[in-house]
Amino acid sequence: MNKTLFGILSTVVLLNTACSPKQDEAPNTTVQSSSMSSEASTAASSQPTAVAPAETTSPTNIELVNTYWKLILLNDTEITVVDNQTEPHIVLNTENRLSGSDGCNRLMGSYVLDGEKLTLGEMAGTRMACAEGAAQAQAFNEALTKVAIHTVHSDQLELRDATGLVLARFKAVAMP
């Protein structure tokens, strides 16, 4: 029994040592979502991660893929979030799948990334009637069809058309 207990304790100490961050390494600043809708989980085989708010995140830690991007500007217009509706957002996962919301309906689709070039495939989504925010949701969906390139600056993502015009601006935020 003492040999078994000693073996278990040795294993725990080794695992703790191997899994602990080194003193000179910064702690991981990503947060994994603990819940996804069943539709989003079928659209994305892995759960997306999101970065912590900008105050605690180094801009170099923010990546395009597996980040929760909250829509903040659409065609030079600030976004309004309607009470009791999901905020407009997108998440691009590592399997080239996009999921998110237009503020009224859930979105899902595919994407191809080649450097700064970003091509979004045809989007699918739910078709719920929204008393408010329907025009903004439609404008967001139309903007997504025109995306040709992207840029990430600090904690913001810009989606641009082929001429370089900013269609939409997003901010990296913690998963709601």
Q: What is the DSSP string of 29-69?
A: -EEE-S---HHHHHH-SS--EEEPPGGGS-GGG--SBT--E
Six-digit token pair at 27?
Answer: 């702690």
Query: What is the second-level CATH architecture of the domain 26-172?
Result: Beta Barrel (2.40)
* Whether the predicted pLDDT of 59 surpasses 60: no
Per-residue pLDDT, averaged over 74-99, amounts to 94
Residue 12 has a pLDDT of: 36
Q: What is the largest CA-CA distance in the chain?
A: 73
77-101 mean pLDDT: 94
Q: Between 17 and 163, name the one with better pLDDT.
A: 163
Q: Do residues 107 and 101 touch, judged by C-beta distance below 8 A?
A: yes
- The model carries a pTM of 0.65
Check pLDDT > 80 for residue 43: no
- Best CA proximity match to 90, nearest among 63, 67, 110, 73: 67
Query: Cα-atom radius of gyration of the chain, to the nearest Å?
Result: 20
List the domain boundaries for the chain: 26-172
Whole-number pLDDT of residue 42? 39
119 or 49: whose pLDDT is higher? 119
How confident is the model over 91-101, as a mean pLDDT?
A: 95
- Residue 138: the pLDDT is 94
